[in-house]
Amino acid sequence: MAQNERATSQPSKLKVSFEFFPPKSPDMADQLWQTVEALQPFQPDFVSVTYGAGGTTREPTLSTVGRLIAQTPLATAAHLTCVAATREEVRLVVDEFKALGVRHFVALRGDPQGGVGTRYEPHPGGFENAADLVRGLREMGDFEVSVSAYPEKHPESQDETADIEMLKRKVDAGATRALTQFFFDNDTFERYLNRVRAAGITIPIVPGIMPIQNLSQLKRFASMCGASVPERLDRRFEGTEGDAQARAEVAADIAAEQIVDLAKRGIAEFHLYTMNRAPLTVATLTRLGLGARSSSLSGAAA
């Protein structure tokens, strides 16, 4: 897709949302708020802030969510997990978010305490899984509740049927939207969506889009979370070694092309994983005609 090419499927009707994570240092905080400032003009449907398993980023998440609500017009969702916490501890955290003005949670089980690949064990006295957490949130307040979905199956699920059954349990518990793990094969997503609808699940299934900041790092991350990275992406980046600007242009093209194709298939909502960096997200959305900003891709790499 040429840089000035625009989506033909009524881009003004597309909805986008952005994911951020709480910063770990003053420099990372500066980067986050510069990213928020750059992305705010795109008027996202909402933004979300991640929450470390077992509350490991509890205070930074609360601080980030609070600032977003107090200082921006952005509808802000807080991620919440149930790893290494009792039900009462989770309720106390929910009360803190609620006091800040949070009315939308992204309810996740969270990674096992031993890390990805280890066995998950529910905390004694805690919520058993994400479906149980959703049910608990519904009992605590009239919240909007988003959950996760996996077009390529959660790595711990026995099979695709079991994976979709878990999604149905989350929906039956009160989930109102599902945000997917990132993926790069739209046919895979479409097949997944067809299976989800055949199972009687009618909530929005929002594709998670990952603009490729660094292809090598993405492959390592994808191998841990069960997502595949097609070989065609390697071919797209051929010849860009040593040229960060060229790699960034290719990365923005790939993300925009994926959204355009999904929009042609009838998808109108997209959740972008920003990695707290604005340039690739801005460039992707600009290619779609969703903003008049000129995009600078300095600092983006693949």
3-state class (DSSP) for residue 252: helix
pLDDT of 195? 97
- HSE value, Cβ hemisphere, 13 Å, CA-based, for 22: 20
User: pTM here?
Assistant: 0.89
Q: Return d(Cα 45, Cα 98) in angstroms, integer.
A: 19
In whole angstroms, give the CA distance from residue 93 to residue 99.
10
139: exposed, middle or buried (C-beta count within 10 Å: 0-12, 13-18, 19+)? exposed
How does pLDDT run across 195-250, given as a tens digit for each residue? 999 999 999 999 999 999 999 999 999 988 889 999 999 999 999 988 999 999 99
What ranges do the domains of the chain cover?
A: 11-287
Which residues pair with residue 106 across a beta bridge?
79, 146
pLDDT tens-digit readout, 73-101:
999 999 999 877 889 999 999 999 999 99
Say whether 19 is catalytic.
yes
Alpha-carbon distance of 84 to 93, in angstroms, equals 13
Topology given in CATH for the domain delimited by 11-287: TIM Barrel (3.20.20)
Active-site residue, selected from the candidate residues 19, 152, 249, 257: 19
Cα–Cα distance between 11 and 13 in angstroms, integer?
Answer: 5
125-163 pLDDT per residue, tens: 878 899 999 999 999 999 999 999 999 988 887 899 999
Instruction: Say which range, 95-109, 117-131, 278-292, has the weakest mean pLDDT.
Output: 117-131
> How many residues make up the chain in this entry?
302
Copy the structure tokens of residue 33.
């708020």
pLDDT at 8: 40
